Structure 1
């Protein structure tokens, strides 16, 4: 039955039960709700504690790069998921999807900055599969290899769990990786995360990754110094892993400079600058 939900959910959700959806909206470039929208969400939660959520989809307007919008949409989904996860039941094979700007945009940009919760009301749960367009007898006959879905993985989960749940071709942020100012020297507080990553690589010999470096604060995304610095920082992570016995063939690296910020440049505060100068890993192969 799990395979069937992945096939049918996103094709039938808009038509099969359009009345069972709830939408919250976000300010530009934000992934946290305003007080008004947060109140609206909590009022919805209080009225739907016996219903069942089947999907949460995230969207953005067209401002910013596609990479930035994809990340922002996912952060919006994760924010809503964290609020509702212990308050409203979820279908066992619940999935989320982050569309970013890749959907039919409204002319009103404010209407595009949203997250939509799809759910089934308590009175209709007996018809759950019918509503979703799922025919149980076809479960073993459908090929779901081409279906792309995103599972919500908490940023606070252990690195091993985050890597295990991240699909090939997807990236995740290495938390708590810091460098000395304008250098590729790794600060001492980064060591626990690096040792965790080395341990995971050592115990998963089929795991192949690409280390991706990003820097902040530069309006010129073509600036060669920023690209070089981000590249050298990513390379430093690779060299650490190799020094811990990980085969160099399993770790590549790439520097993106400031071309893929999580927050628009110039950043508004140090928190946004820290978020933009980050290290990510791309799961190449498991």
Structure 2
């Protein structure tokens, strides 16, 4: 588990309701619990084997430098994490929050030397996403025979769409005549959707490595066409994936598989 220590104040917004928390206090300048608090932690672990930890927040008093206190609160969070790891379920996007002396909210210094575990009880796990304000992703099914305009309209940010009938002369980034219809379809869509931003992604086939960076050059060629026809550059990004994301294993078993791997896609960045 990799810790990401940062001051994430917005995280607390997730815990506006239906969350639990337990606090453990540290002696001055210590990042390990004393016997009393350690026993309290072990008791809590034993009573919460079916709970789920959301985050651990560490803080210190205001004695010492800010840098020292930041490190000390990080160590306190790490200590607590090591005690609970493997014993209690932890969310995959677990947050490790180090507030240092910024977490000193009490006039009593001893009350600021602490680590807080935020967690959900077993009875609340069924509504975990609701409690955390996480909306379920809704899958959008885009018909294969839909037009490019319809596909873009139905798509969400992150959707990838293959540009059909975009072909290049062999070993070049020059488009063949049959590509014009799709290019102008894409231009029309970009002209009529001013907020649409895309990344054009190139893929090639049949070889073990894109030595000439041809996939990138082909993506850039599509961008050149759009920019030449008035689409602002900032709305178009480009990226070449070479043969790193084939639809079919390389070497392909047929020309149909090679053609499927040899493609240009657009990814919707914003709409």
Instruction: Give the TM-score normalised by the residue count of structure 1.
Output: 0.48
Aligned counterpart for 1:243 among listed residues 228, 246, 258: 228
Q: Which residue of 2 aligns with 1:282?
A: 267
CA deviation after TM superposition for structure 1 residue 156, in Å: 1.4
Unaligned runs of 5+ in 2: 1-129
Q: What corresponds to 2:244 in structure 1?
A: 259
Q: 1:143 offset after TM fit, Å?
A: 9.3
Query: Residue 231 of structure 1 corresponds to which residue in structure 2?
Result: 216
The separation in 1 between residues aligned to 2:221 and 2:160, in whole angstroms, is 18
For 1:145 and 1:185, the matched residues in 2 are separated by 45
2:187 alignment counterpart: 198
Q: Which has the larger radius of gyration?
A: 2
Q: Which ranges of structure 1 fall in alignment gaps of 5 or more residues? A: 1-140
Match of 1:177 in 2: 166
Following TM superposition, by how much is the alpha carbon of 1:217 offset from its aligned partner in structure 2, in angstroms? 0.6
Number of equivalent positions: 142
Give the stretch that moved more between structures: 263-272 or 147-156. 147-156
Shift of 1:152: 1.4
TM-fit CA distance, 1:144: 7.7
Q: Residues 84-163 of structure 1 correspond to what in structure 2 (within 5 A)?
A: 146-163=135-152
User: Which moves more between the two structures, 209-218 or 154-163?
Assistant: 154-163
TM-score (norm 2): 0.50
SS, match of residue 148 in structure 1: coil
1:151 is paired with a residue whose SS is coil
SS in 1 for 2:200: strand
What's the RMSD between the two structures over aligned residues? 1.8
Give the secondary-structure state (helix, strand or coil) at the position aligned to 1:231: helix
Distance 2:248 2:232 in 1: 34
Q: Which residue of 1 aligns with 2:258?
A: 273
Q: How far did 1:147 drift?
A: 1.9
Secondary structure (helix, strand or coil) at the match of 1:254 reads: strand
CA distance in 1, matches of 2:132, 2:182: 38
Alpha-carbon deviation of 1:200?
0.5
